[in-house]
Amino acid sequence: MDKEKERQLKKGSAEIRLETLKMLKWRGYGHLGGAMSIVELLSVLYNDILRYKPEVPAWEDRDYVVLSKGHSGPSLYAALALHGFFDKELLYTLNEGGTSLPSHPDRLRTPGVDATTGSLGQGTSVAAGIGMALRKEGRSGQKVYLIVGDGELNEGQCWEAFQFLAHHKLHEVIVIIDYNKRQLDGKLTDIITPFDFHKKMESFGFRVFDADGREESSIDEALKAAGQVTDSAVCVLLDTVKAQGVPYYIEREDSHAPKFDAKAKEELDKTIQALEQYVAEGGR
Ligand SMILES: Cc1ncc(C[n+]2csc(CCOP(=O)(O)OP(=O)(O)O)c2C)c(N)n1
Ligand SMILES: [Mg+2]
């Protein structure tokens, strides 16, 4: 990837991270860890991969995004606001009564949200259904980007949906695993060990592409390679860090959904200021 493109994508990530952290800090709590580990992915998707028209969210030729790990809604909302689906001011209604930005995405409430998610596992079946519908309608050029959590993969439903994708060689769905090694209350290896996701997905019949989920160029390359596959189901395994980009929370046990005390707010402010400066300098 050329340097200018990389700069744009990195600036895009910084903007999504910044808006998400500002929103969560304003709210006083929220799912920070998992929202942060998909920031670089969202920047690559919305800046370089997806076909969409923000002024016509339901455009029938669009690509679809299914955020199956729905608790990461806040970073999806930041990406949608930054890419023109709605006003950034709306971010400051997150989780309020009557808001169009509930903590977990709702496709009937938020422009740009393609699937209602939050009950882990269910998004995998929804994505499989959308993918099959695209195929049946002869819209094989369109893709469904399905974002699943590594802890979410404890849900049996995911593996049922993956068998369906593999059996039908449903390359219209690109399964993206956010392998951040942690779930709600600890490390995957202490709760239910995942063994080797790459081998596991391969044995389920998928072509698997590995990427560094903190590097936009690596994600971009993997998504583009995955998009070329037409003879099997396809998966991108993202090596990420829970709470990536937020130094204070990376090592903390409560990074999943913290409530911010005075110390946390101070630390968040440092990250917010650094991101503001980076964005103001154009990502240089
Ligand atoms: C069916 C279901 N069970 C439990 C939960 C509660 N829950 C919300 S997030 C989460 C952990 C998810 O871990 P992971 O998929 O690794 O997410 P990430 O690390 O990306 O935050 C759990 C158990 C839920 N939302 N849905
Ligand atoms: Mg996880």
Atom of ligand 1 at shortest distance to CA of 185?
11
3-state secondary structure of 83: coil
Report the sign of the C-alpha dihedral through residues 264, 73, 34, 95, in that order: positive
Task: Tell me which H or E stretch contains 64.
Answer: strand 64-67
The CATH number of the domain holding residue 188 is 3.40.50.970
- Whole-number pLDDT of residue 164: 98
Q: Considering its fold, how many domains does the chain have in total?
A: 1
Q: Whole domain around residue 71: which residue ranges?
A: 3-280
Give the position, in ligand 1's atom list, of the atom nearest the Cα of 257. Answer: 21
pLDDT score of 283: 87
Query: Using CA positions, which residue lies closest to atom 7 of ligand 1?
Result: 184
* SS3 state at 80: helix
- What is the separation of C-alpha 224 from the centre of its chain, rounded to a whole number of angstroms? 16
Q: How far apart are CA 66 and CA 13, in angstroms?
A: 19
Q: One digit per residue, pLDDT tens: the chain, 284 residues?
A: 999 999 999 999 999 999 999 999 999 999 999 999 999 999 999 999 999 999 999 999 999 999 999 999 999 999 999 999 999 999 999 999 999 999 999 999 999 999 999 999 999 999 999 999 999 999 979 999 999 999 999 999 999 999 999 999 999 999 999 999 999 999 999 999 999 999 999 999 999 999 999 999 999 999 999 999 999 999 999 999 999 999 999 989 999 999 999 999 999 999 999 999 999 999 88
- Amino acid 17: pLDDT: 98
Element at 107 (helix H, strand E) = none
Per-residue model confidence (pLDDT) at position 251: 87
DSSP single-letter state for residue 55: T
Largest CA distance in the chain: 54
Structure tokens at 168: 């039908």
Collapse the DSSP code of 260 into the 3-class scheme (helix H, G, I; strand E, B; otherwise coil) and give the result.
coil
Q: What is the whole-number distance in angstroms between the Cα of residue 264 and the centre of ligand 2?
A: 21
Coil, helix or strand for 174?
strand
What pLDDT is stored for residue 45 in this prediction?
99
**CB within 8 Å of 91: residues ≥ 6 apart:** 19, 22, 23, 77, 78, 81, 101
CA of residue 182 to ligand 1 center, whole Å: 10
- The per-residue pLDDT for 177 is 99
Bridge-based pairing of strands 64-67 and 173-179 is unpaired
180: which 2 tokens? 């951040």
Query: What pLDDT is attached to residue 25?
Result: 98
Cα 69 to averaged position of ligand 1 atoms, centre (Å): 7
Ligand 1: lining residues by beta carbon, under 6 Å = 33-34, 37, 69, 71, 118-121, 149-152, 178, 180, 182-184, 242, 256
User: Cα(120) to centroid of ligand 2, in Å?
Assistant: 12
pLDDT at 284: 86
Residues listed for the chain? 284
